[in-house]
Structure 1
Amino acid sequence: MSKQTILIVDDQPENLVLLESGLNDMADVVTCHQPSKAMQVAFECDPDIILLDIEMPDINGFELCKIFKAHVKTRAISIIFITSHHDFEHESKALALGAIDFISRPINLSVCRIRIQNHLRLSAQERQLTNAYKALQSEKEHLHVTLKSIADAVIATDVEERVTFINPVAQRLTGWNGNSAIGQSITTIMNLFDASTNDVLINPVSVALEEERVVAMALNAKIVSRQGREYRVTDSAAPIKDSCGKVTGTVLVFQDVTESIAMATQMSHLTNHDPLTGLPNRLLLHDRLMQSIPCNIRTNTKLAVLLIDIDNFKYLNDTLGHQVGDKVIFQLSQRLEELCDAHTSLSRIGGDEFVLMSSGINSSNHIDVVATQIATLAGTPMKVGGEEYKLSVSIGISVFPDDASNEQELLRHADTAMYRAKTLGRSRFCYFSDELQSEVDQRFQIERLLNKAIEEQTLEVFFQPKNNLATGELVGAEALVRLRDENNNIIPPDAFIPLAEETGLIHALGDQVLHQCCKAASRWLKEGNPVRVGVNIAALQFSNEQFYLNIQQALKTYQLSPKWLELELTESALMHDFDMTRTTLQKLSDTGVSISLDDFGTGYSSLSYLRFFPLDVLKVDRSFIKDMLNDDQAKNIVDAIIHLAHSLNLQLVAEGIETSAQLETLKSLGCQEGQGYFYSKPLPIHEFEARYLSNNAK
């Protein structure tokens, strides 16, 4: 609470000095020795208490008190007279004018301070009560306006099911106005029936009161208004509880879905159009392609399909929310429709994918122009909720009859070209070619190898040691999966891990790696070489409802204590499904499994994850380690992450240590553990055991 203020009005300077010095530790003291200026001073300082002398020239204290009490800005201020008069007449007059106290001279400063302190306390309490009342009235008015303004119907009742509030929407649907509805039984003003049988339905308010829980209305319900109009409705009733948990009534919220049900007759439109943008969907696009191809054959012209995909749209959606993402999609669709004419149509075929179909083309330059226009329209910043967002798109182009002979090939080849455009960077377009087809074939070959390796359980797991930076001793190992081709050559993980995620094979791959790691860790432990093994977990693995059970089963199968297993996740994994991921990780953490956040510092919301997820380990991304000796900013980031980890009692592991200089710098900064080629590259299990475990076996 801010410091209170006392205004002292007295024409004698010595009195002002005495009182100011005696009271200035209790409040801010403002003095005025000219009664004629007292009102102006009061306006400026807004005092809690005014001390008035009675005998003053020009305007005496009584007259000044009348002036204060007559003005709206000062009438509520507490006034205390200080005077040498001791008679009943003066004291009575002072109190009659609105003064709250009367202090006689000569002043006993101790008694005066106590009395002033008491009045200050009363004044503060009065202000608090006034402010609380104003806040309560404001909140009440805001709630009242909100309930009256929302589009849903709202009715509140007491515990006897009598209506205590009904908003305008509910009044319209029931046919009862506010005054006549208040006090009526809910069953009187809300006639609820089954829309098919016309049977009377139990109002959910009754069930909500009886069972003290949220209750939804029966399906296929309708209400009949006081005037006989029928409305199809959906609703729910919830008990209202006071601060002690006692039920004091209910609130019923319902919506008029009459028009929504009528819209069911328009399902043919919804079947062929995207509900967000209103554009044709994939089904209608196929139909239009089938109609356009014969026309282009007859006119000896070309048909182009441009597949448009928004770059990194998933991150925008996950970071800002689907509501913002939907608005961005809608605005982009409106912009792209500007390119449509009699020979061009736009479709939305996926979350962030559009297809522009252009027929009757005589020149390939036309396609280049259209693709450039698409990139320009998408790259122009768009405003959503007062914020600007700049997009980029990748565009894949397939042309009939050059690249395909039917509509399915056109779309498939455009999709292939679009993925190539993504690899080239943002705001690019790419035509389909035989070379691209060759890459697609190679992709299918890797997918075949991956399927075979998973089926035959021939995936290999390499282990890269984690070392204590101070002592150099082994403290753990990161497991890294490897895939070999027919010639026994290792296929890089970045060539098959994304493919495994796209095809859904990541679940089987992850399970196989998990079991190999648990098996190895269990054997090492029995041989007297305890090693905690870190297993990388992909984002999509959390979408498997059996993920938690699979880990528990693997630990049980190999009789491995959870403390020897560490799950390494990237921030993209945490972003996949926030609530489900958090719940799953908490369950795993509760069993003793360690949770590590990989590549820390490179994601979007690293610090928020430290609050919401049960993390044990942070792994500093190798990009910072690589640059920290030549880039002060990178070094400062590493230093900040180390301090952050220490303050949160998290273990810290530096990735990608390659030189002794990097090692010494990390040690000086207080980093405990690390891994990288300075110690060892990832090794096949037999080499890892020979180098790190055989000498330690008991």
Structure 2
Amino acid sequence: MLLSGYTNTVYRILIIDDDIQNIFVLEDILSPLGNIYFSESGSNAFALIDKIKPDVILLDIEMPDMDGWQVCRALKADPRYSDIPIIFITGHTEPEFERLALESGGVDFITKPFNASICCLRVHTQLQFRQQNHLIVKAKEELQQLVNQVPMLITYWDSSGNNLFSNDYSGNWFETLIGHIDGQHISTIFPPELSAAVLRHQKQTTSEPLKYIVTVKNQLGMSFYEVFQSKMKSAVGIDGYLVTLVDVSEVKHAKQALYSEKERLRVTLNSIGDAVIATDTRGLITFMNPIAERMTGWRIKDALHQKIETVMQLRDSNTRHTLLNPLYIALREQRIVAMALNSQLTARGGQVFAVEDSAAPIRNENGEVIGAIMVFHDVSEAMAMAMKMSHLANHDQLTDLPNRILLQDRLSVACSAAESFGNKAAALLVDIDHFKYLNDSLGHQLGDEMICLMAQRLRSLIPPSYTLARLGGDEFVILMSDAHSVEASSVLATKLVEAMHEPFVLAEQKFSVSVSIGISVFPNDAKDAEELMRHADVAMYRAKQEGRNRFSFFSHDLESSIRERHQLETCLRNAIIHDELFVHYQPKINLATNEIVGAEALVRLTDSEGLFISPNEFIPLAEETGLIIKLGKQVLYKACQEAKSWLNMGLNIPISVNVAVAQFADPHFANIIEKALHDYQLPAELLELEITETALMIDAADMQTKLYQLKSLGIKISIDDFGTGYSSLAYLKKFNVDVMKIDMSFVKDMLNNKHDYEIVKTIISLGQSMGLALIAEGVETNEQRQALLELDCLMGQGYLFSRPLSASDFNAFILQHKG
């Protein structure tokens, strides 16, 4: 019987075939056997093989880039994959093909069309063979390890006391075991005391093990061996007896030393300066030394068998919440556990001690945890002094803000964290304009008061997670750690400059001051904390040179891009607030009849001069700033309103609206859709929502639930830009969608690029097999239109028919089209 035994294995089956229909057929046949993976190209399969480590590969022979023979030979030549069984699949039945398959390293041959039961049996057989091979190799390794590592001497002797077997090949137990000892008498191999004991007990030996202890004298003193002796018959039929030895010398010596050790331990625990409390595995006290009695206020006779939390009451010095005694953690996790910081011990009489130290499990000679020990001491005075010294060393004496030393440490931590998590860190160096003249005119005392008031105002303007430090004089630094964008530093700097317009009151007089701020961003401007501060200083002097009362970035390009982005964000916010977004409509056309079968709503934005801004610029910004939800809602309402106006004109034109991931994440999104349909009395079947395939895959389970809610309203769901993301067919078939849109990047070059043509063809075939309506985007020529019709794609949109049009132009287009 194999030591490892059988395990419940989930097999990984890889299908390499350029025909997607074959893949679907094989997936249905083989899915009961395990997880199915596939590749439509031989050359692309290698990366997938390295990733999933398949248990069996079904390989098509005839493929365009690499045929099956080439793929098979390449896999067999690679030691990493050479043991993976390969089954060839082909439509050929000639013996020559089967011979070539076996010569290339294949293990079996499946012909098309597939016989489901035979195909399944052939694959299952290879999977069983592979599992058996793994188990055999594993069992051999385990057996060898068992013999080599068993911590005892195993010997077998015939009835006359001659040796038949020993597992000690190197003389680890006795030097007399080295070399060829088969046939030698036990008295020449074992020490005299041991051999005499074995021979003496031979008459008493039965099939049940006889156990006894033998003491052997040696150069180091005394050794103790526990002997197990039993009668048995070997595989070749020789009667004899099995003798196994276990060296128990350490245990014996340990027991002999236990009494003296316990006495030394008792004296030590009673005389040390730390408090010691021991418990059993349930946390019941078994021992306390005199220091523990004094600090807890409990006598040992009263504390015995009490719960440790009753005797040793620990609380957090800040929150006063009761703390879990670390002794319980030491028992549960069987490791040394330090006491929580800021721990307080409340004695029985009410006295409070600040304590620290640790708890550790107590083990017996077998390594079993039999209890735990708590060692602690009073650190009240030391902690108070340490806290005071640490605070003075790291804080400014005038403002009590972090000083340069503490700031440098936090800058280093912030830069390291930003580098690790892909975030940013920003340093804002704030300098009071003309403070020297103010300080000289007011006097140093009022100047110090001004510094304190400035510190208070700055602290009130920043989140608690930011660090505000004083470098000295009139210079402050604000550290923005874990910033997700450079723009956040610009927003904060603007806020700080504007907040200084409020006068300060000193000696019942108002004084107006301004600040100059230099901003440096990691990793954009600096590679480390030191450079970050140096560049912030440069930027601050640039702000002073440009007129003070302002902020400046170290990078001119960055500052320029931030200002442009800020202008764009302002424009977008104003457009949303004042309902100034435009919606244009691009018609969807029946490619065969030239009828208008729908329209896609596309948002447009203009700048202050009335020029259109590209959606590629403001849509990503809307998503980043969270404005996409308000933008999407406004576009949805305008589109529903326009579709209702078409309906009033007697035109049944469905309208499709693009939906961002953030909108789907909104728990009230379904209610927003329902309200829009109700407000404009628009039939639900005239509204279609478009979402990208990549968005569908972010949280497939949650998306499936939300799609079901939306579908229950009666609207349609469309997958936009299909083929450009990472699609999982297993997930895709679970989504209840109605329309699949073929991305314009494939349609554009489908007549010039064979691969794009095949992708379009495959997407259409896939959509048809799933019962989805198909719309091709970016149709610009009649040749593309004709090619799509030949592939059974009946709908399209693009410049061949019309660009996106304003509402009035679209109405004119409808009338012209009808004419």
TM-score class normalised by the smaller sequence: 0.3 to 0.5
The structure that is helix-richer by fraction is 1
Q: For the pair shown, which has the larger CA radius of gyration, 1 or 2?
A: 2
TM-score by length of 2: 0.37
Higher RCO (CA-CA < 8 Å; seq separation 6+): 1
TM-score by length of 1: 0.43
